[in-house]
Amino acid sequence: MGLKKEKLSHFRFYWHDVQSGKNPSSIMVVPPVNNSQTAFGQVNMIDNPLTLDPEIGSKMVGRAQGFYALADQGQIGLLMAQNFAFMEGKYNGSTITVLGRNPVFNQVREMPIVGGSGLFRFARGYVQAHTHTFDIKTGDATVEYNVYVLHY
């Protein structure tokens, strides 16, 4: 299969979930069920910028594309299914796929890396998400992601 020696890479970037304004990167495609205090059932489709710094105008290195669903009736917990699609440097065109549970009010949330493409073919590992900012009025959020990925 032509595989090289496996290596561990660490990336840190910021994920911007923008629900407000003229050009949101996150839109609700399924509303929550009636009377749910946790927005259970809501699904948002995302095409969120990934940047090197917390400011949304900082250098963009890729996009988080996929969806999240509010899948917990007892607390606000998301099912995250997203590809980190890289657009810069040697990783341009490669992706990392994350699929897991995100209990958003936990200080740090860990989700598994289940695969990838390009330079991340056969990828495995995990991400840690930490909320940097959240605007309760708009729903906009900036989340720091630390990515630990084993790949060839």
- H, E, C per residue of the chain: CCCCCCEEEEEEEEEEECCCCCCCCEEEEECCCCCCCCCCCCEEEEEEEEECCCCCCCCEEEEEEEEEEECCCCCCEEEEEEEEEECCHHHCCCEEEEEEEEECCCCCEEEEEEEEEHHHCCCEEEEEEEEEEECCCCCCEEEEEEEEEEEC
Report the percent of the chain where pLDDT is more than 90: 95
> What does the pLDDT look like over 62-115, one tens digit per residue?
999 999 999 999 999 999 999 999 999 999 999 999 999 999 999 999 999 999
Q: What is the CATH number of domain 7-151?
A: 2.40.480.10
Model's pTM, two decimal places?
0.95
pLDDT digits (tens, 9 = 90+) for 26-41: 999 999 998 899 999 9
pLDDT score of 3 more than 90 = no
